[in-house]
């Protein structure tokens, strides 16, 4: 039996190394053709009209939220409330506040760990401008009903899909149900471009805004008929005309070159992750000592979460210590209930109601890594360790 299980592992082989070296040998390492080709392939793979690459998934979220600040068609007014789930990563939330909007937190569903639709409907009011859905740990939120709620209330729906590349709901890719969706290509995610992220959208206006925001807020690289600012007859001046208060969030060519190769492997990666998930569910799905995540649609299984219950409840520290001693890496379920972090004093937010489910995840939840290779032996080992812990607890 293979002992131990890391949280993440490299998805690269010699093809990525060759592609990276080719870029280095060319001397053209800043954002260019490789990035553009990856964007086109990614848009096609997700069934989106447009895809804009960034230097990280966090940057993708930042640009996505700021695009709503400057959109004439879909824009939110300053101070608008954006409904968010209480369980997610920090850079789901920061861009909302940084863009001048107010976070309105709601609890998550106990079973799926995604945003609770009943809580959303309770929290919609005259100040609500958008819903930011998070597809947690590879699992799609109830995106079709989320879209229905958004449309019936005149709200913008956007998705943080950074953990859920390849997830599907009734044949449609997670990350494409709303006006825009973000993706991440960090080392621990489904595909890796070292650092990197993407925003997909079917809105030409949003695509133009995202491209401008990505590179200093200028008009360089925009088409003649763009939605940000008209180009002039002077191409030299168009190179250095600044029209939006943007950022420098540009990816590099190596990331684009590697991304194209990784995207070709994605289908196989997801197939193996789902096969691992079948073992995970068969071993742990009926346990009386913990609850596992209920799948919505077809999860791409970023990782395998556990929420301790019954006699295991309150014993997370002891269990994590046992797993650590057996070289099984663990992490909190994303960031637990984010409201319990000291950084909240710096964020404009509202948190009415209760957060029972997010709190349970915060105190009694953790997850282990899934991989693009067979880990059934590791999962059997994990089950043996849980059984061992149960026996010792009873004794």
By annotation, the residues acting in catalysis are: 189
348/353 Cα distance (integer angstroms): 17
Packing angle of the helix pair 90-98, 57-70 (nearest 10 deg): 30
Alpha helix positions (H), 166-252 = 204-214, 235-238
Alpha helix positions (H), 220-315 = 235-238, 253-284
276 CB-near residues (< 8 Å, 6+ apart): 301, 370, 371, 374, 375, 376, 379
Q: Yes or no: say if 146 and 119 are a contact pair by the CB < 8 Å rule.
A: no
Tell me whether strands 290-291 and 197-201 are parallel, antiparallel or unpaired: unpaired
- Partners of 132 in the beta sheet? 158
- Partners of 103 in the beta sheet? 82, 349
């Amino acid at each position: 039996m293979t002992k131990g299980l890391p949280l993440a592992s490299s998805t690269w082989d010699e093809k990525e190394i060759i592609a990276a070296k080719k870029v280095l040998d060319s001397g053209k390492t800043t954002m260019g053709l490789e990035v553009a080709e990856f964007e086109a392939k990614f848009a096609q793979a997700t069934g989106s009209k447009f895809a804009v690459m960034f230097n990280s998934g966090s940057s993708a979220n930042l640009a996505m939220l700021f695009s709503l600040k400057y959109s004439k068609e879909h824009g939110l007014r300053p101070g608008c409330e954006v409904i968010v789930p209480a369980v997610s990563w920090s850079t789901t939330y920061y861009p909302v506040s940084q863009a001048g909007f107010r976070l309105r937190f709601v609890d998550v569903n106990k079973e799926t760990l995604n945003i609770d639709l009943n809580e959303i409907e309770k929290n919609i009011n005259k100040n609500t401008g958008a819903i930011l859905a998070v597809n947690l740990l590879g699992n799609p939120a109830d995106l079709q009903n989320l879209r229905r709620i958004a449309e019936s209330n005149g709200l913008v729906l956007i998705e943080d899909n950074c953990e859920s590349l390849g997830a599907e709901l009734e044949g449609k890719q997670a990350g494409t149900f709303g006006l825009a969706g973000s993706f991440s290509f960090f080392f621990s995610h489904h595909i890796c471009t070292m650092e990197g992220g993407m925003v997909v959208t079917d809105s030409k206006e949003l695509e133009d805004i995202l491209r401008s925001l990505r590179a200093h807020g200028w008009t360089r690289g925009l088409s003649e008929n763009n939605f940000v600012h008209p180009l002039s007859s002077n191409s030299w001046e168009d190179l250095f005309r600044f029209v939006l208060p943007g950022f420098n969030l540009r990816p590099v060519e190596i990331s684009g070159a590697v991304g194209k190769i990784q995207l070709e492997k994605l289908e196989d990666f997801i197939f193996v992750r789902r096969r691992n998930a079948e073992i995970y569910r068969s071993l742990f799905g009926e346990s009386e000592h913990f609850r596992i995540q209920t799948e919505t649609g077809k999860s791409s299984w970023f990782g395998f979460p556990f929420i301790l219950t019954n006699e295991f409840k309150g014993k997370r520290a002891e269990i994590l210590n046992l797993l650590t001693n057996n070289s099984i890496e663990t992490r909190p379920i994303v960031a637990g209930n984010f409201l319990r972090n000291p950084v909240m004093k710096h964020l404009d937010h509202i948190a009415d109601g209760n957060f029972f489910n997010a709190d349970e995840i915060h105190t009694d939840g953790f997850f282990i890594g899934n991989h693009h290779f067979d880990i059934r032996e590791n999962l059997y080992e994990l089950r043996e360790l849980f059984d061992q812990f149960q026996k010792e607890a009873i004794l």
